[in-house]
Amino acid sequence: MTPYDKLIFELSTKDRVGYSLPNPFGDYDLSKDIPQSLKRTEETYLPEVAELDVVRHYSNVSRKNFGIETGFYPLGSCTMKYNPKINEEMAALPNLRGVHPLQPVNTVQGSLHIYYETARMLSELSGLHQFSLNPFAGAQGELAGLMIMKAYHLKKGNTHKTKVIVPDSAHGTNPASATVAGFDIIEVKSNQDGTVNIKALKAAITDEVAGIMLTNPNTLGIFEKDILKISRLIHQVDGLLYYDGANLNALLGYARPGDMGFDIIHINLHKTFSTPHGGGGPGSGPVGVCKKLRSFLPAPTVIKKRNQYDFKYEQDAIGRVSSFYGNFSVVTKAYSFMLTLGKENLSKVGGLSVLNANYIKASLEDEYFLPIKGLCKHEVVFDGLKDKSTGVTTLDVAKRMLDFGVHPPTIYFPLVFHQSLMIEPVENESKETLDHFIGILKQIAYEAKTDPEKVKHAPYTTVVRRLDEVLAARQPKVKYKDLI
């Protein structure tokens, strides 16, 4: 334990200061100008430390953190992809970083060019006609998409269309977004391999169905081979197909949701297009639509007329979903990512992410239980260790992985299996990194057989050992004062 393992509050010494600056107002008491009602009634409680303590505190805290830049991070469904430094440099260019959203439109033509071109590239990659980059996150893109679905039906007088179909394997945000948009959910059961059960789907389709929300490949990494049939069935009742684009990585360069019949899509720029995420942002969840829905996109849209860019406020627009035009710095990073890869390399992303997932799958099949055989796409789901007699659970395996310095995969999701271990290696990890990871998982499987207690009590090398996760979620202590 070093002094810097303490909380910064514990380092505090009364009246110690980081900086002492001369008062630019001399003897004048500024606090006289602040109305009494706005003044604090209690002392603030802030740590009193020297500048050097602050620097050491944050440097030490950063070393306790884990990120894509410290190690392998195969978190399923999250596409934890390295963000090349050039993207940050581009987003930080003074002319991009320093613009104000209220500047006259003729002074921000360069920024609007980036916005417009990024939207065009997303159209090209996904096969959808037009995009709005305004939503701040995937889930917000979903909500915008569902609001577009609703606006489309209302405009057509389809007031009876109040239901949205969501498969039971969907990401939790899907039913949430549809509910917030005012739809009722019809849950349809999946087949054993996680694909949509066509019989159950047919039974669920009525004239009240406004649309379906799907992700393809699905949450189990399996490609929905009946997608054209599903698309026909939904379109037959004038329903719309919504594509949850969080799994777009698997398709890049190989297939396009628009060609499969999808009408609305959201894409997570902070997954497929490499902006760092986790810990809450910043994100960007562009929403794209087919031609017949373009006038419903959130306002304003960016248009190009005679080589000039401008904003347009469509009459049908669902309204604004964000202040101004979304997270522009994330858009810039995605634009830089696409341009630096170029068309040829961008179309390798899907292939390599699928290859990596299948390499891991084939390498671990002997030790871990693989419920769905055959080719997977960008991620592979195991249902815990193959040998169930040891009593070692997926949680134990994940905790033991921490001792080897890799981030565990997503665990206990999807819910269709009891011991899910969902691994998404992304496209840009080397074979050496994958082999290292496979070696660790084999070693843990061996330990589970020979010394199960060791795995059950892991981790051993981390700052804290096993936490009471239920208590931490139910009664989080997020302030130092809660602890004392």
Ligand X SMILES: *Cc1c(COP(=O)(O)O)cnc(C)c1O
Complex with ligand X: residue 215 or 301, whichever CB lies closer: 215
Burial of 353 per CB tally in 10 Å (0-12, 13-18, 19+): buried
On whether the CB atoms of residues 19 and 56 are closer than 8 A, the answer is no
Complex with ligand X: residue 108 or 423, whichever CB lies closer: 423
Q: Across the beta sheet with 420-423, what order do the strands follow? A: 380-383, 420-423, 410-411
Among 57, 150, 153, 171, interactor with ligand X by CB under 6 A: 171
Closest CA to 240 of 308, 292, 188: 292
138 touches ligand X by CB under 6 A: yes
User: In the complex, what is the shortest distance from the CB of residue 289 to ligand X, in angstroms, rounded to a whole number?
Assistant: 18
Complex with ligand X: residue 138 or 440, whichever CB lies closer: 138
**Measured between alpha carbons, how far is 209 from 241 in angstroms, rounded to an integer?**
11
Q: Which helix (H) or strand (E) holds 176?
A: helix 173-180
**Measured between alpha carbons, how far is 139 from 174 in angstroms, rounded to an integer?**
8
Complex with ligand X: residue 123 or 215, whichever CB lies closer: 215
Looking at residue 334, its amino acid is A
Angle 26-27-31 from CA coordinates, rounded to 5°: 105
On whether the CB atoms of residues 381 and 286 are closer than 8 A, the answer is no
Complex with ligand X: residue 256 or 400, whichever CB lies closer: 256
# residues near ligand X by CB under 6 A: 12
Long-range contacts: 408-412, Cβ < 8 Å, 24+? 408/75, 409/74, 409/75, 409/76, 410/75, 410/76, 410/77, 410/78
Closest CA to 288 of 328, 241, 247, 347: 241
Among 80, 137, 240, 406, interactor with ligand X by CB under 6 A: 137
User: In the complex, what is the shortest distance from the CB of residue 216 to ligand X, in angstroms, rounded to a whole number?
Assistant: 11
**Measured between alpha carbons, how far is 231 from 243 in angstroms, rounded to an integer?**
11
Complex with ligand X: residue 309 or 337, whichever CB lies closer: 337
On whether the CB atoms of residues 235 and 212 are closer than 8 A, the answer is no
On whether the CB atoms of residues 423 and 380 are closer than 8 A, the answer is yes
Q: Which helix (H) or strand (E) holds 311?
A: strand 308-312
**Measured between alpha carbons, how far is 61 from 446 in angstroms, rounded to an integer?**
33
Q: Which stretch binds ligand X (CB under 6 A): 93-101, 136-144, 291-299, 359-367?
A: 136-144
169 touches ligand X by CB under 6 A: no
Output DSSP code: residue 33.
G
Closest CA to 138 of 76, 209, 67, 77: 77
Among 111, 173, 353, 420, interactor with ligand X by CB under 6 A: 173
CA dihedral 128, 131, 133, 135 (to 10 degrees): -80
Residue whose Cβ sits closest to ligand X: 138
Binding mask 292-311 for ligand X (x = CB under 6 A): --------------------
Token representation of residue 176: 């949430």
User: In the complex, what is the shortest distance from the CB of residue 380 to ligand X, in angstroms, rounded to a whole number?
Assistant: 15
Tracing tokens 């130092």 back to the chain, one arrives at 480
User: In the complex, what is the shortest distance from the CB of residue 284 to ligand X, in angstroms, rounded to a whole number?
Assistant: 8
Tracing tokens 């007329």 back to the chain, one arrives at 305
User: In the complex, what is the shortest distance from the CB of residue 229 to ligand X, in angstroms, rounded to a whole number?
Assistant: 22
Complex with ligand X: residue 77 or 295, whichever CB lies closer: 77
Q: Which stretch binds ligand X (CB under 6 A): 132-140, 204-212, 392-400, 446-454?
A: 132-140
User: In the complex, what is the shortest distance from the CB of residue 266 to ligand X, in angstroms, rounded to a whole number?
Assistant: 8
User: In the complex, what is the shortest distance from the CB of residue 244 to ligand X, in angstroms, rounded to a whole number?
Assistant: 5
Among 283, 326, 384, 414, interactor with ligand X by CB under 6 A: 283
215 touches ligand X by CB under 6 A: yes
Binding mask 45-84 for ligand X (x = CB under 6 A): --------------------------------x-------
- Give the count of beta carbons closer than 10 Å to the beta carbon of residue 193: 14
Task: Spell out the residues 6+ positions from residue 86 whose beta carbon is closer than 8 angstroms to its own.
Answer: 336, 340
Q: Which stretch binds ligand X (CB under 6 A): 42-50, 134-142, 293-301, 434-442?
A: 134-142
Distances in whole angstroms, Cα of residue 142 to Cα of each of 136, 139, 295 = 11, 5, 17
Q: Scan residues 403-432 and list those touching ligand X (CB under 6 A).
A: none
Complex with ligand X: residue 118 or 173, whichever CB lies closer: 173
Complex with ligand X: residue 284 or 393, whichever CB lies closer: 284
Binding mask 246-275 for ligand X (x = CB under 6 A): x---------------------x-------
Q: Which residues pair with 213 in a beta bridge?
A: 242
Complex with ligand X: residue 68 or 458, whichever CB lies closer: 68
Q: Which stretch binds ligand X (CB under 6 A): 61-69, 135-143, 336-344, 472-480?
A: 135-143
135 touches ligand X by CB under 6 A: no
Among 244, 383, 424, 447, interactor with ligand X by CB under 6 A: 244
User: In the complex, what is the shortest distance from the CB of residue 398 to ligand X, in angstroms, rounded to a whole number?
Assistant: 19
Complex with ligand X: residue 53 or 244, whichever CB lies closer: 244
E-state strands within 130-255: 130-132, 163-167, 184-188, 209-214, 240-244
Q: Which stretch binds ligand X (CB under 6 A): 67-75, 94-102, 115-123, 131-139?
A: 131-139
- Name the residues that contact ligand X, by CB under 6 A: 77, 137-139, 171, 173, 215, 244, 246, 268, 283, 285
